[in-house]
Amino acid sequence: MQSTLRQPRVALGWIVFLAIAVVGLFYVKWFPYYNRAFVAASQHSIGKSR
């Protein structure tokens, strides 16, 4: 009985881990540049270089 209850818990744990990883990557890596993509598409530039 214990092994049948363990499999869904392990699967749920992996799903939660992957969801946190995807949300974390989005927030850290892609979210800061989200608005810049629209600016670059409309103005063909993302601003001055430093």
Residue 25 is assigned to a structural domain of this protein:
yes
Q: Which pLDDT value is given to residue 5?
A: 61
Residue 14 is assigned to a structural domain of this protein:
yes
Residues ≥6 apart with Cβ < 8 Å to 46:
36, 39, 40
Residue by residue, pLDDT tens for the chain (50 residues) are 455 667 888 899 999 999 999 999 999 998 888 888 888 889 888 777 77
Q: Print the domain residue range for 14.
A: 2-43
Q: For the chain, what is the domain count?
A: 1
Residue 49 is assigned to a structural domain of this protein:
no
Residue 9 is assigned to a structural domain of this protein:
yes
Residue 50 is assigned to a structural domain of this protein:
no
Q: Are 13 and 21 in contact (CB under 8 A)?
A: no
Q: Which pLDDT value is given to residue 45?
A: 82
